[in-house]
Homo-oligomer: A and B are copies of this chain.
Amino acid sequence: MRQINGGVTAAKGFKAASTAAGIKYKDRKDMAMIYSEVPAKAAGTFTTNVVKAAPVKWDKDIVTNSPYAQAVVVNAGVANACTGEEGLGYCKETAQKAAECLSIPVNSVLVASTGVIGRQLPMDRIAAGVAVMAPNLDSSEESGTAAATAIMTTDTVKKEVAVQFEAGGKTITIGGMCKGSGMIHPDMCTMLSFVTTDAAISKELLTEALKEDIKDTYNMISVDGDTSTNDTVLLLANGMAGNKEITEKNEDYQAFCKALNFINETLAKKMAGDGEGCTALFEVKIIGAETKEQAVTLSKSVITSSLTKAAIFGHDANWGRILCAMGYSGAMFDPEKVDLYFESAAGKLKIIENGVALDYSEEEATKILSEPEVTATADIKMGEASATAWGCDLTFDYVKINADYRS
Contact = CB atoms under 8 A, between A and B. Distances in A.
Contacts of A327: 49-52, 227, 229
Nearest to A314: B403
A311 B81 contact: no
B396 A318 contact: no
A403 to B, nearest CB: 3
Contacts of A50: 326-329, 331-333, 335
A127 interface: no
Contacts of A304: 225
A181 to B, nearest CB: 12
Given A306-B225, A318-B186, A399 B82 contact: no
Contact of A324 (B226, B333, B395): B226
Given A186-B307, A307-B224, A320-B82, A313 B49 contact: no
Copies in the complex: 2
Contacts of A117: 320-321, 323-324
Contacts of A395: 399, 403
B227 A320 contact: no
A128 interface: no
A336 B116 CA distance: 18
Nearest to A304: B225
Interface string A363-397: 00000000000000000000000000000001110
A15 to B, nearest CB: 34
A235 interface: no
Contacts of A323: 51, 82, 117, 229
B324 A51 contact: yes
Contacts of A52: 327
Contact of A335 (B48, B51, B399, B407): B51
A400 to B, nearest CB: 7
A221 interface: no
B406 A399 contact: no
B398 A310 contact: yes
A324 B189 contact: yes
A84 interface: yes
Contacts of A316: 403-407
Given A50-B332, A305-B226, A406 B318 contact: yes
12 contacts: A51-B323, A51-B326, A81-B320, A182-B307, A184-B324, A226-B305, A226-B321, A228-B324, A229-B320, A306-B398, A311-B402, A316-B404
Given A184-B307, A224-B307, A310-B403, 12 more contacts: A48-B328, A49-B327, A50-B332, A51-B324, A51-B335, A117-B320, A118-B357, A187-B320, A189-B324, A226-B325, A306-B398, A314-B402
